[in-house]
Chains A and B, each alone.
Chain A
Amino acid sequence: MKLWTILWFEIRKLIRARVVLLNLFLLPLLLIFILGNALSAVFDSGEDIKLDKSIVTLVKPAGEAAGDFGLQEFLDSPEIKSSIEARSGVSREQAEADLRSGEIDFAVVIPEGFEANVNMGQPAHWEYILGKDHLKNHVATMTFDAYLDEVNRIQASAIVLGPEKAIPAQAGAENNAAFSYVENASLNEKGDSYSAFQYYAASMLIMFLLYSGLMVNESLNSEIEGKTLYRLGSMPISPLQIFVGKIFGNSIVTLLQAAVIIFGTSWLYGVKWGAHPGYLLAICVLVVLCSMMLAVTVSLLSKSQTTANAIVQFIIILMTFLSGGFQPIPVDLIQKLSEGTVNHWALQGILRIMLDAAPSEILHHILMLSIVGGVLLLIGMISYRKAGYQYE
């Protein structure tokens, strides 16, 4: 009963505090808003993103006609025009100077006799000069390589079939351009749509839940700082009850936060959290347990509250990083390390719920998470026995 009083007071206190409301509702929603909008271009169309136009100078040999192998048509096609603005250049030196000054993004130098070489079936090469922007270099290289591949194909056809037959190739190429050869498939087992947004939604949920451990630290510590724990000591209530009551109170508020994030993302942005709410809840509860135990342990074992908070924050960011919460990192060593983190098992578990994997697989991750949680609980209990929660 006394435990409930502490618990209920803790909840009321938290819900009334401005900063908690900020943490609970505003920040997750802000984060989700940024995520949703930042990557919306990619999620909506599933196509390449619209990048800034690259300005490209084409340096052609003097005296040669421009219309070789449909280059002009290629440059004029709406797809290319949306990403590349082609200009004709005077000389290689000029193009290099323009690249250095940043006036143009990329330059192509077509050597003399290119057309003739291609027609005779000889090797022929264009020279690309890379500019200042890595991404634009990449896009331009890919675009012009696509054109050269086309020329290469025509040449190959001409070598194999003879020149007459190969010429209509260009016309043919234009016709099937509309067909999409690549389809975006869903990682979901049932074929429901899955977007990369879900990945971030899951990893951010876990990170927020982990941070909430700092709230309980704050609450425990404020009783000591404000000397109210001293007063509580004169009450018929054991320190353990206060301790546990505070942890439970904060856990409930944290689960409320999880609900805000999950429902917020699913209503506002249509993030699908899978068809197993029970498993999802289990993971959230376990993460909250880990979060509380981590924070409490560090806090009990360190002398200064500031140090404790700094350590907990650092551990959270590091675990999120290792588990690929910000960016999946396919480096073997990091993957190995990540298997010791709370985030890894929670994230992989939630992802599998979202992807509708077999229950046994989801349960495996939940089990591993419970083991991590159990270990943390044990460490928490030991450090409570050692350090205790009392007014010194």
Chain B
Amino acid sequence: MNSLTIAWNMIRQIAGTKKGALLHILLPCVVITLAVALMGQQESSKARILYVNEDGGTASTHLLDELRAKPDYMLKEIETEEAMKKEITGSKGEAGFVILAGFTDGILSGNPKVVRMYELKMSEASITLRLTLQQLSQGMASTAGLAGDKAVFGTMLEQTRKHAVSSVKHDMQIYPKPGLNIVTGFTLMFLMGLVNSSVSKILEDRRRRTMARIFSAPVRAWEITLGNFLGSFAVGITQILLVLLFSGYVLRYDYDVPLLQHFIVLGAFMLVAMGLASAVAGLIRNPQNAGMLNSLIITPTCMLGGCFWPVSFMPEFMQKAANFVPQKWTIEAVEKLSAGGGMGSVTLPLAILGLMALILLAIGSSILRPAETQVS
């Protein structure tokens, strides 16, 4: 009962006033949702690829037609190489390539010219684009070797473009929604930032010696711990719920994950994030610096945990290191749910998250030492 009083007091402190509720709960959630939804929109659509065609011959036309036919890219022609470099630097496209003048002649004569490719930062799209360009050019070179002269080459390419031999896909929808890992990653990153604020609230209590007063009341230590824990947990849960409801029902971003299951997984992550924030705060004497340190820890762990790029892009030992950050397991769990696995498929990630939360919260409960109010 005492715990509930403490928890309720904490909730009131954070979101009790209109301004507080707006500032700590509503506004951040709306902003996160908007950011993530915009992000998700881009992820699900095609990758924007820029190109410059200096050649204009049969081979380059064929190359571009084939690329256009692929479902993954949206091509945009740019006049000059210089202009394209500027657009890519300004991140107006994910990658770009230049077909040099004489490309067709090069293919025909057997001394092919290379396609020049630019990227600002590697991504799945730029990697697959590189492979596809290589394959298409290689295929054309073989065709040219057989054709001999230009006219026959043209006819052969035309016949090739008909794609009489091709593939059809049977989709059982058992894979996670593409781009969901990044959307989840960013949601997690923002959530971690929000958790920080409730942990620094506890620290403020300690600094102002309110905590010492609570300890002098006829309340047991575990009740205080539980109270603080329940309070920040309730705030975090509300934030998650708002983010999920806003994105799902107002902005209609389809996570492809049942709401309740999604909520449980994110809730588990929230516990770990709380544990992490309080563990860091417990190790650092000065409470305000702790808040700063915490926010600086968010970025490296997010990178490691696959919030910005898939974990499988990283070398082996980094993938192993990723196992130690909660983001990796949360993303994995959300993806499994999205693939239609149901709660049964996420027992392992959830168990790991639970364990992490337990250990970190145990370490983190050391922030509840009322004596340490010291300001360096």
Interface of A toward B, CB cutoff 8 Å = 17-20, 22-23, 27, 30-31, 34-35, 37-42, 47-49, 51-52, 96, 99-100, 109, 118, 121-135, 137-138, 141-142, 144-146, 148-153, 155-157, 159-161, 165-166, 168-169, 172-173, 176-177, 179-187, 196, 199-200, 204, 207-208, 211, 214-215, 217-218, 221-222, 225-226, 304-307, 309-311, 313-314, 316-318, 321-322, 324, 326-331, 333-335, 348, 351-352, 355, 357
Give Cα A201–Cα B141 distance, bound, in whole angstroms: 40
Find B182's partner among A151, A199, A327 (CB 8 Å cutoff): A327
A135's partner among B169, B299, B312 (CB-CB below 8 A) is B312
Q: How big is chain B's contact interface, by range?
A: 35 or more
Given A146-B135, A310-B196: A218 touches B292 (CB 8 Å cut-off) = yes
CB distance from A154 to the nearest CB of B (A): 9
User: In the complex the two chains form, is B174's CB within 8 Å of A130's CB?
Assistant: yes
With A27-B300, A186-B118, A196-B120 given, name 12 new contacts (CB 8 A). A27-B293, A31-B299, A38-B318, A124-B164, A130-B169, A152-B164, A153-B142, A157-B147, A161-B152, A215-B289, A225-B207, A335-B92
Whole-angstrom distance from the CB of B144 to the nearest CB of chain A?
10
Q: Tell whether A156 pairs with B314 under 8 Å between CB atoms, given A39-B122, A214-B291.
A: no
Set B48, B159, B285, B299: member contacting A160, Cβ < 8 A: B159
| Chain B residues numbered 160-182 whose CB sits less than 8 Å from any CB in chain A | 160, 162-172, 174-176, 178, 182
| B146 adjacent to A165 (CB under 8 Å) | yes
Q: Would A96 and B172 count as touching, CB distance under 8 A? A: yes
Is B118 within 8 A of A181, CB to CB?
no
| Min distance, Cβ B54 to any Cβ of chain A, angstroms | 14
Complex CA gap A49/B245 in Å reads: 37
In the complex, B89 has a CB within 8 A of chain A:
yes
Known: A208-B296, A321-B35. A169 touches B114 (CB 8 A): no
CB pair A17 B376 closer than 8 Å? yes
Question: Which residues of B lie under 8 Å from residue A38 when comparing CB positions?
Answer: 303-304, 309, 313-315, 318
Instruction: Let me know if B133 and A23 touch, CB within 8 A.
Output: no
Check if B197 sits within 8 Å of A149, measured CB to CB: no
Q: How far is the CA of A225 from the CA of B308 in the complex (A)?
A: 39
Interface pairs A-B: 6 shortest CB-CB: A181-B137, A328-B91, A156-B159, A152-B165, A196-B121, A19-B289
Q: Tell me how far the C-beta of A18 lies from the nearest C-beta in chain B, rounded to whole angstroms.
A: 8
B201 touches A306 (CB 8 A): yes
Closest B residue to A207 by CB, please name it: B299
In the bound complex, how far is the Cα of B127 from the Cα of A241, in angstroms? 55
Shortest CB–CB separation between residue B67 and chain A, in angstroms? 12
Q: Are A196 and B112 in contact (CB under 8 A)?
A: no
Main secondary structure of the interface of A (DSSP, over half): helix
Taking CB as reference atom, which chain A residue is nearest B135?
A: A146
Q: Contact between B174 and A30 (Cβ–Cβ < 8 Å)?
A: no
Residue numbers in A under 8 Å from B168 (CB-CB): 125-128
Could you list 16 A-B pairs, sorted by A, with CB under 8 Å? Answer: A125-B168, A128-B168, A130-B171, A145-B167, A148-B167, A156-B156, A160-B155, A176-B142, A181-B133, A187-B118, A208-B296, A313-B196, A316-B295, A326-B189, A330-B42, A331-B38
A351 cross-chain contacts in B, Cβ below 8 A:
89, 120
By a CB distance below 8 angstroms, the chain A residues around B97 are 182
Give the chain A neighbours of B314 by CB distance below 8 A.
Answer: 37-39, 41
Whether B141 contacts A176 by the Cβ 8 Å rule is yes
Q: Which of B306-336 contact A (CB under 8 A)?
A: 307-310, 312-315, 317-318
Give A329 Cβ to nearest chain B Cβ, in Å: 6
A48 → chain B closest CB, angstroms = 5
B28 interfacial by beta-carbon distance below 8 Å = yes
Asked whether B121 lies within 8 Å of A328 as measured between CB atoms, the reply is: yes
What residues on A are CB-neighbors of B23 within 8 Å? 307, 310-311
In the complex, what distance in Å separates the CA atom of A47 from the CA atom of B97?
Answer: 16
**Among A20, A138, A331, which residue has its beta carbon within 8 angstroms of that of B42?**
A331
B116 within 8 A of A: yes
Please determine whether A187 and B135 come into contact, CB atoms closer than 8 angstroms: no
CB of B77 within 8 A of chain A?
Answer: no
Chain B interface (Cβ within 8 Å of chain A)?
23-24, 28, 31, 35, 38-39, 41-42, 48, 85, 88-94, 97-98, 112, 114-122, 124, 127-128, 130-139, 141-143, 145-147, 152, 155-157, 159-160, 162-172, 174-176, 178, 182, 186, 189-190, 193, 196-197, 200-201, 204, 207, 284-286, 288-293, 295-300, 303-304, 307-310, 312-315, 317-318, 339, 375-376
Contact of A221 among B91, B93, B118, B288 (CB under 8 A): B288
- How near does chain A come to B133, taking the closest CB pair, in angstroms? 5
| CA gap between A134 and B171 in the complex, in Å | 11
Docked-complex contact A313 and B193, CB < 8 angstroms: yes
Q: Collect the chain B residues with CB atoms within 8 Å of residue A324's CB.
A: 91
Knowing A126-B167, A321-B35, the reply to whether A172 touches B142 (Cβ < 8 A) is: yes
Contacts of A153 in B (CB 8 A): 139, 142-143, 156, 160
- In the bound assembly, the distance between CA atoms of A316 and B318 in angstroms comes to 27
CB-CB under 8 A for A310 and B200, given A19-B286, A330-B48 = yes
A329 in contact with B172 (CB, 8 Å)? no
With A130-B170, A318-B31, A351-B89 as given contacts, are A211 and B94 in contact (CB-CB < 8 Å)? no
